[in-house]
Structure 1
Amino acid sequence: KRSPFCFRQDESLDEMLIELSRLLRDWFSIGMMHIRRISMGSPADLLLKLMKYSRMYSPKPILSWEDMEKRLEKRRRIYAYFHPLLENEPLVYVEVALVGSGSVPASFLEMEQGQETTYPPTTAVFYAIASTQTGLRGLTLGEFLIRRVLDELSNDGSIGNLSRFVTLSPLPGFVVYLQQIIRSNTPTCLSREMIAAITRIGVQEDFAPRTGLIELNRTELEKLCFDYLLKAKRRRIRALDPVANFHLRNGASVLRLNWMADTEKQRLRESLGMCVNYEYDKDMIEENHRLYTLHGHIVQNGGEKADKADR
């Protein structure tokens, strides 16, 4: 017997969903948002929410008050978008590290070392961004937040002269991509032990490959990762990796693929420890965005290791 609570999705329901979506876009349009820098002086309920949301959605969760203080120290920043009717409810936030090592950090260890230098910061590193409201995931608040933070940092006289704006981003879909290649019997130069380890990820709970085994397969894994980053597409135009698609759609270019940049167990399970630096060149953001959204063209920075993409 048909449940009285079941209903057929008809045209009127479709129209209602479309209208609700339009209203949400209006209510949470970028013009309604205001940006705030979060500090240890922010309201306690805001800091508690930030800690909770980071554990739920961020690739780098805030695990303690000590960790919170570290994220908000002099050379770290957290910015968030807020709605006027939800004053202490961060809708999306981004974490930034200011480094003065003179080079772009290739790992989280290098990023932390770059913060410890006495030199003034030269590079802003966006290392975590998270949306806190699943109902607003279809909106482009994160893209606008990064661009707004670029302006905030550029105009902050207390920082000095920042010359580069980059990310240190995960590749959360890389292992799934490798598993698809293995299932399709596509020839690779991966060792049998490496293939077996990749196959076990997601099947055996909490399993992650040994870093030594990953290192032995470095040449082939780097090649496959470049193929995944630059050639694997969704709908023939969008990067298959969701984080790559986010930054490329927002006008960033691919700067560098980083080997063993993050060796936390979850990152090993998702990407075998690999991360990417995307670069936001303020003079090229609009052109990069146009090339990617219209033609699927992924712009590679002419500098560091971009040539590896042709391997």
Structure 2
Amino acid sequence: MEPIDKKQRSKKGSDKRVAEVFHTFKRLSEEGAEEDKLFRKIKSRYKTLADHEKGELFRILMENIEVSKEEIAHLLEDLSRCGADDPNWLKLLSKLRGRAYSPRLNIFRKISRSPGGLKFLLDFRGDLLSLQRFSKISLRPLDADIILLFEVWFQDGFLYLEEITLESSYRQVELIKDSDLVHPMTNIEEMGQRLGEDRRCFALYHRLIPYEPIIFIEVALTRGIAKHIVEIIEMDKPQTPKGEADTAIFYSINNTQNGLTGLGLGKMLIGQVVDYLRKENEQIKNFSTLSPLPGFWENYLQLILEGRDESFALKRKDVPSYFARRQMGKLMEIAGVKKGKTRAFSRALLTILSEEEWKEKEELKKILHQPLVKIAYHYISQEKNPQNRPLNPVTNFHLANGASVSQKNVNFLANPSSKGLTESCGIMVNYIYTSSWLSQIRRSFRWFDKLEVRGIFSRRQ
């Protein structure tokens, strides 16, 4: 009996913690509420919640702080009785908009006005998006309220762009170094190697969160499109001779705030940097990424070779068609697998690609080069998620932004590091941004040309 009692006490404690946070949220909706004081309570109590408790809080907020059917039923009836030219139509419609206004949005608006409130809401939405993936109920109505608020807060007047240079504060440089999850660095000297004449870094900041960037991008100015990451980040690689760079390579884009997912700020940042670099140097004509392909091995090709291919367009039986018969025989011989059909070959390929040593063997590299490039391009161009968007998140990000990609932009062993091999068999991709794309960005963000630029920008203009 004791374990059951313990479990019941634990559940009661959990329910109590969630209820306390919920009731503090609710008190914030009242007229004349002490906004800053209540927000501090919400913030401190929310921190103590476990993930499952946060999920329960989101559900309760969504279901219990909402407009009731009774509040708008009579207005809907009156509207349905209005004729086409009824003078009351506009008045009733205005009343309906007022009554249907989300009471949660009013709470979030109050929080955003408190010191630290906007950062709290960013983290709050980040948690919501993370938990939504595993939730049995849709949290979209709650998310929609926060997005409406963010669309006001994250635009012209609140955002500014700054170039991070060797002259920037140590804190800024260190924060960028610690936040780069695409190509992680072990020390500040590595970050210093990514700043200079042909290595640039641009960060987007919010005036209410000036101590950390909300998103940043690292750029290499090269001659031609770089196809291997070692050309860019290896310390002993020579820099592009001055005046010879004609291409800007975006090789690391990091969103430091998960709560901003889906707001299009990455697209806007790329557009701003393209615009600035074109104005600064007329020789820069080409704009491309050198992007990782996370999940290509661990979450895709490996699963297919193991026979767990139900979710994919590519099936295990299709994999041999990417190889010549002689290549298949050689791979099975190297892997020590007896000759056979699809399963035997898949087992051989799985054995070889599961070990990093293959990258050092010229014969294996020659055999694997074209098949892996073709399979990777199939993954990029054909594999879709349930929303019919590219399955790979990086591909989805760039193609949704307006970039283009073809098979010739898929680069074999472009990142031969352990991380690169584990994520994508070393594959990296150039997503191409054309100059005409910039005019599309200007139409998407009406305030594009009004964004304030700071730091070294002001010295160059």
Shorter-chain TM-score above 0.5 = yes
The structure 1 residue matched to 2:184, chosen from 61, 78, 90, is 61
What SS does the corresponding residue of 2:420 show, helix, strand or coil? helix
Q: Where does residue 388 of structure 2 map in the other structure?
A: 237
Structure 1 residue 25: deviation in Å? Answer: 3.4
Give 1 or 2 for the bigger CA radius of gyration. Answer: 2
Tell me the alpha carbon deviations over residues 75-131 of structure 1, each in whole angstroms, 9 at most, x when there is no partner: 1110010001122311100000001x3x21211234476833354211000000001
Question: 1:12 aligns to what?
Answer: 64
TM-score (norm 1): 0.79
2-structure distance, mates of 1:68, 1:284: 30
- CA distance in structure 2 between the partners assigned to 1:198 and 1:145 by the alignment: 40
2:178 maps to 1:52: yes
What RMSD in Å do the two structures reach over aligned CA positions?
A: 3.0
Contact 1:33 1:81 in 2 (8 A): yes
Residue 281 (str. 1) matches residue 281 (str. 2): no
| Matched residue, 1:164 | 286
Q: After TM superposition, list the pairs within 5 Å mapping 1:115-264 onto structure 2.
A: 115-156=239-280, 159-175=281-297, 176-182=299-305, 183=307, 184=309, 185-189=316-320, 191-192=331-332, 193=335, 195-196=346-347, 208=356, 210-211=358-359, 212=361, 213=364, 215-235=366-386, 237-255=388-406, 256-264=409-417
The change in CA–CA distance for 1:111 and 1:50 in structure 2 (over 3 A counts) is closer
How many Å separate the matches in 1 of 2:285 and 2:366?
A: 33
Return the structure number with greater strand share: 1
* Equivalent-residue separation in structure 2 for 1:46 and 1:20 (angstroms): 28
Q: Would you say the 8 A contact 2:218–2:252 is kept in 1?
A: yes
Do 1:229 and 1:241's aligned partners in 2 also have CA atoms closer than 8 Å? yes
What SS does the corresponding residue of 1:186 show, helix, strand or coil? helix
Structure 1 pair 227–162 and aligned structure 2 pair: CA distance change class (3 A): same
- Tell me which residue corresponds to 2:227: 106
User: 2:96 is matched with which residue?
Assistant: none
Name the TM-score, length of structure 2 as normaliser: 0.55
Residue identity (%): 32
TM superposition shift of 1:198: 7.0
Q: Is the 8 A contact 2:221 2:240 kept in 1?
A: no
> What does residue 324 of structure 2 align with?
none
Give the alignment partner of residue 419 of structure 2, picking from 244, 258, 266.
Answer: 266
More helix by share: 2
Q: Which moved more, 1:141-150 or 1:112-121?
A: 112-121
Any unmatched runs of 5+ in structure 2?
1-7, 19-55, 67-101, 105-141, 310-315, 321-327, 336-344, 442-461
Q: Which moved more, 1:112-121 or 1:276-285?
A: 112-121
Q: CA deviation at 1:222?
A: 1.9
